[in-house]
Structure formats: C-alpha cells, structure tokens
Amino acid sequence: MKYLKTSVLAIAAVFAMGNLASAETVVPTTGHGYGAVTSSTATPLADGSTLIKQTTHEFWIENPSAEKFPAEKAADCNATLLLSAQGAPLAYRGVCTVTDIDGDTFVATNGATKPDFSDCTWAMHGGTGKYAGVTGSGLCMPGGPITKDGNNSKFSWTGEWVLP
C-alpha cells in the first residue's frame, strides 16, 4: 500500500511538472539594433593591454515579437572590453537595461571572448511589467561601425524568449 501511495504521488508530480513546463511559451526572436557611445574611458594596463569601459544608448528592433511585446525598444548599456597590446579584442561583457514604449523594462547581458566575436551570446533576465519572469538567450553578431569615428555601430541577434 505504501508503494502504491508513493507511486501515485510520483506520477502526480511528474504530471504536474510536465504541465508547468508546457505552460511556458517559446518565442523565436531575431533583431537588429543601433547604438551610440555616450561615454568611454580607456585605461592602459601594465602588460600593454587596454581596458575600455563604455556606456551606450541603443535602439533595438525585434522581429517577430510575441503578442503584447513591442518590437521597438531603447537600451542603456554598460560594457567592458579588454584589448590586447596589439589592439585585438580579448574579452567583452555588456549589461543593458531595456525599456519599451509602455515603460516596462528587462535586463539583458551579452559577451564574447574571441577576437572576432564569433562566440558572442546574449541572455535575457526578466524584468518589470510584461517582462516579469521572461528569460531568453541566443547569439549576437556585431555589424561594425556606421560612422568613421566608430562611436556609432550596428548589431543583430537571433535566439528565443521563454515566456512564463
């Protein structure tokens, strides 16, 4: 009898967890953005490398976007980039606070460790309002500068959101 109760509870737990997992909605996302450097500091290091800290203001456009999630967003980002003594990127990490037209926000991170940024990834960490509990991840691709001084750039991404 005890075995039967344990089995029934185990089956119920598996069923409940299966229902919780199926309650999530996965939404594919692709997008592109444009950013402008609002501040930048470069610090030479003893080994000849350079540490660059930047803030940017960016505009993001996603397509497709899940229903009730505006496609256009504004982001304020803080990034750190380590350049080798020869000027090659060694590591990059960024954190962005992203806001939509309704004033709802989420936090996104991105990073890369290869000089060509071929391992660039992003993650979404949820936020406020409609973004509460939303997660996601994917790949990011730098698109290069759009002005000669390099202070304005473009980028794109692919991946998925997971809606609770």
On whether the pTM is more than 0.85, the answer is no
Of 162, 159, 146, give the one whose Cα is nearest residue 33: 146
The string of pLDDT tens digits covering residues 15-55 is 344 444 457 899 899 999 999 999 999 999 999 999 999 99
* Superfamily of domain 26-163 in the CATH hierarchy: SO1590-like (2.40.350.10)
Predicted local confidence at residue 22, as pLDDT: 52
Torsion of CA 78, 74, 118, 45, to 10 degrees: -20
Average pLDDT rounded to a whole number, residues 87-99: 96
Give the chain's end-to-end CA distance (angstroms, integer).
37
- 74 or 17, which is more confident? 74
Strands 152-163, 25-44: pairing is antiparallel
Point out the least confidently predicted range of 63-67, 71-75, 154-158: 63-67
Q: Is 20 helix (H, G, I), strand (E, B) or coil?
A: helix
Predicted local confidence at residue 18, as pLDDT: 42
Domain locations along the chain = 26-163
CB 126 within 8 A of CB 106: yes
